[in-house]
Amino acid sequence: MLLLVSLVFLLGACQGQKGQQKVLIGSKASDAEIWRYIAKSDAAQEAGFEIEVKDFVEGPVLNTATAEGEVDVNAFQNFAYMNSFNQEQGDSLVALGSTYFEPMGLYSANLDKLEDLDQGAHIGLADYPSDQSRALLLLQAAGLIELSDEEKSLYSVDDIQANPKQLNFDVMNENTLPRSLTDLDAACIGNTIAMEAGLDLEEDTIYKESVNDDTLGSVNILAVAKDHPNKEALKKLLDLYHSEDVQNFVKEKFKGTKQPVKLDQEEIKAASQYEK
């Protein structure tokens, strides 16, 4: 009788484990920390997920792994970054939905305000197309440059039409921008990389983005392979991210710099476009 009870218990336990959908999330830096918090939560178990988080260093490598099915979902990029990858790799990724917006800032180790930028100042820019485009739009919003009138999904330094201060642009890997600040007058740095380097969005910037319709492409997302068989089921991950418990953790941990954003399907579709 005892053996029978034990077998029934073990069978029930196995069925419970089988009922959990295993999800491998590829992520990097602060996003990985958030998803590890979610993975350990009771809410994830109740939603039917068994979440494992795998760390990556380079975004293009993570996107390729996602497109090829090595990971189910990735959490690290915004719409513009995904669109740039898709433009090069043939529409291999889609957005499940939106998570947050992180303002990009113009950081400086030596200057206190925008007006302190001298003629011929050196500005650091990321070499990845979507990050460089976002940085140039930031500089345009700050009144430092003017870009081509031609509406484009991505801008490069070649699209600068007016540069009254004759600024010099030093293009480099985004991860090297913070440690290059001492050699630059300022640099356009995304919030995640800035935070990892110990920079403060409020204290160390001389200009920063504001949240509006023009920055839709800079909203972060969860991305999956276009042909992933469980896309619809995986959308429940967005509910976990936007839950009150997780948002309280994110707000406290990241000092309010990851501002939650929930876009509807039409907005997601619009933000996922690029010129073909």
Buried b (16+ CB within 10 A) or exposed e, 186-222: bbbbbbbbbbeeebebeebbbbbbeeeeebbbbbbbb
For residue 119, pLDDT over 60 is answered with yes
pLDDT higher at 5 or 155: 155
Cα dihedral angle (142, 147, 151, 153), rounded to 10 degrees?
-70
Q: What is the pLDDT of residues 46-81, one digit of tens each?
A: 999 999 999 999 999 999 999 999 999 999 999 989
Q: What is the mean pLDDT of the chain?
A: 90
- Cβ 193 vs Cβ 178: under 8 Å: yes
Q: At what angle do helices 244-253 and 29-39 cross, to 10 degrees?
A: 140
Residue 10 burial (CB count, 10 A): 10
Q: What is the pLDDT of residues 161-206, one digit of tens each?
A: 999 999 999 999 999 999 999 999 999 999 889 988 999 888 999 9
Residue among 203, 222, 208 at smallest CA distance from 261:
222
**Cα distances (Å, whole numbers) of residue 66 to 12, 60, 249:** 33, 10, 27
- Cβ 55 vs Cβ 75: under 8 Å: no
Could you give the 3-state DSSP secondary structure of residue 179?
helix
- Amino acid at position 51, single letter: I
- Cβ 99 vs Cβ 76: under 8 Å: no
Number of C-alpha atoms within 13 angstroms, CB side, residue 30?
A: 22
- Cβ 234 vs Cβ 224: under 8 Å: yes
- Cβ 187 vs Cβ 124: under 8 Å: yes
Lookup result for tokens 């920063």: 208
Separation of alpha carbons 251 and 275, rounded Å: 35
Q: What is the pLDDT of residues 193-242, one digit of tens each?
A: 998 899 988 899 999 997 677 788 889 999 999 999 999 999 999 999 99
Residue among 125, 28, 35, 128 at smallest CA distance from 81:
128
Cross-strand pairs, 222:
75, 97
Determine the number of helices (DSSP H) and then strands (DSSP E) in the chain: 11, 13
For residue 8, pLDDT over 50 is answered with no
Separation of alpha carbons 80 and 96, rounded Å: 15
- The pTM score is 0.69
Domains and CATH numbers, the chain: 18-102+216-271 (3.40.190.10), 105-209 (3.40.190.10)
- Cβ 70 vs Cβ 47: under 8 Å: no
